Structure 1
């Protein structure tokens, strides 16, 4: 997740923890109204420890000599991602053969689509913190999501231009570009890497600094289209990465660690 958003992040475990008390705020009053869908028994709530254990088992959690946690290349997560990439490659290959003369592109989200934040999530027990987030991005090199660097490089060789659209803030541009390059992704220079800039939002985003994730991502894809590109495929680990149009086919990368509206 890391820099995907600097605000209303809904985390898997946080949601589990507070689900029984979440409600709607009364306008102007600040009182919480009980959610009618709130669990009536603890048996309706997934135990947080068991949930974490399930996530770790799904990713094939491995721990190195420094105590860092990494997903396993032979785990179920890696296998599921590989299946998605296989389908995407077949689709992109077919489009490359038949759509001659068009400027074709693919769009990748960064966190948990291109780069894996799994180790960060385990370090912070799935609780986002902007300070630890920024420190981690500035000092660590996150591994590629299994196979995504290979898929992106292959797509570039087939004539696709690779763009990255991330919710990370503009201040993290240099770290993000360096990390992508370090793990084998195509060029992530200023023309290909789009980050959120709340201080100076681009003119092509009518919502300015107040964009929702969907508005920001779909608006940025619309801008890429305005540059003459046909976005053949859009890859993201959140449905908000993929909603709003301005892309051909969408590919949802699995991510049970958190949810972003």
Structure 2
């Protein structure tokens, strides 16, 4: 996902704080989750130590070219697996309930669907973040996406493909820009996602010609854009039984029966 310049700075500055809060590194009187101004340096987690914590959490491994990747045996992967187990059980129950409603309601009943964010929900940005030293820029993201496929988030292709096999329609809703569509579609396919990321099922931000169904147009914040897009999806006859994202802003705003927050200590997007 992409944000304004100010938000991008907030993303970088929040990377350390987000992990430190989650890991309990702050002591009494430390800066709050709302990023209040520290009174002393002791309230600020050491950036090198935070980076080391992040790498340990993802089970950092390097290939022969010195590129960094997360490990499937990491605590990150284990946490994601626990979330997916819960999600699968809830989705299966929702499909059964939906089937009953469909039988009772006939052809007009809503069709079950799930919505997925892309970065750190379906595709893992860990290698890109390490390459950039957790310093996101639109230019570096473009260069990376154009030439490199991100690895899938552990277990997510299997969960998503299973959902499709159960008759659940899959939609991708990302804050990536429209000009990154082809690179993103290629990556999702190569990462093992079977549901088509076509124009009817893959929504990217389009600030040049924003869709009419978004009242905020080109000025939408993340919550407005994503909730507005989910509302549009439901207006097409779907019921979103699961909404997956790594940021709370991916999940807020309604239009989903269940929400699933995947872990991401690398950055924070309001």
- For 1:85 and 1:122, how far apart are their aligned partners in 2? 25
- DSSP-derived class of the 1:258 partner: coil
- DSSP-derived class of the 2:86 partner: helix
The question of 1:104 aligning with 2:83 is answered no
Structure 1 or 2: larger strand share? 1
Output aligned runs, 1:94-173, within 5 Å.
Answer: 94-100=93-99, 101=102, 102-173=110-181
Q: 1:36 to 1:17 in 2, by over 3 A?
A: closer
- For 2:12 and 2:85, how far apart are their aligned partners in 1? 31
Residue 17 of structure 1 and its aligned partner are, at CA, apart by: 8.1
- DSSP-derived class of the 2:49 partner: helix
The question of 1:78 aligning with 2:86 is answered no
The question of 1:180 aligning with 2:188 is answered yes
- For 2:174 and 2:54, how far apart are their aligned partners in 1? 24
Q: 1:83 to 1:36 in 2, by over 3 A?
A: closer
1:2-33 CA-partner distances (Å, limit 9, x unpaired): x4435422556524789xxxxxxxxxxxxxxx
- For 1:238 and 1:179, how far apart are their aligned partners in 2? 21
CA RMSD of aligned residues (A): 1.8
- For 1:5 and 1:164, how far apart are their aligned partners in 2? 18
1:192-224 CA-partner distances (Å, limit 9, x unpaired): 100000000000000000000000000000000
Output aligned runs, 1:1-261, within 5 Å.
Answer: 3-5=1-3, 7=5, 8-9=7-8, 14-15=13-14, 37-100=36-99, 101=102, 102-185=110-193, 186-261=195-270
- For 2:213 and 2:244, how far apart are their aligned partners in 1? 22
- For 1:67 and 1:221, how far apart are their aligned partners in 2? 40
1:154-189 CA-partner distances (Å, limit 9, x unpaired): 000011000000000000111111110111112101
Residue-pair matches, total = 243
Residue 95 of structure 1 and its aligned partner are, at CA, apart by: 1.1
- DSSP-derived class of the 1:143 partner: coil
- Structure 1 length normalisation: TM-score? 0.89
- For 1:67 and 1:192, how far apart are their aligned partners in 2? 36
Structure 1 or 2: larger helix share? 2
Residue 42 of structure 1 and its aligned partner are, at CA, apart by: 1.4
- For 1:69 and 1:205, how far apart are their aligned partners in 2? 38
Residue 247 of structure 1 and its aligned partner are, at CA, apart by: 0.6
- For 2:57 and 2:205, how far apart are their aligned partners in 1? 31
Residue 124 of structure 1 and its aligned partner are, at CA, apart by: 0.5
- Structure 2 length normalisation: TM-score? 0.86
Task: Tell me the residue number matched to 2:22.
Answer: none
- For 2:85 and 2:16, how far apart are their aligned partners in 1? 36
Check whether the contact 1:62–1:71 (CA below 8 A) recurs between aligned residues: yes
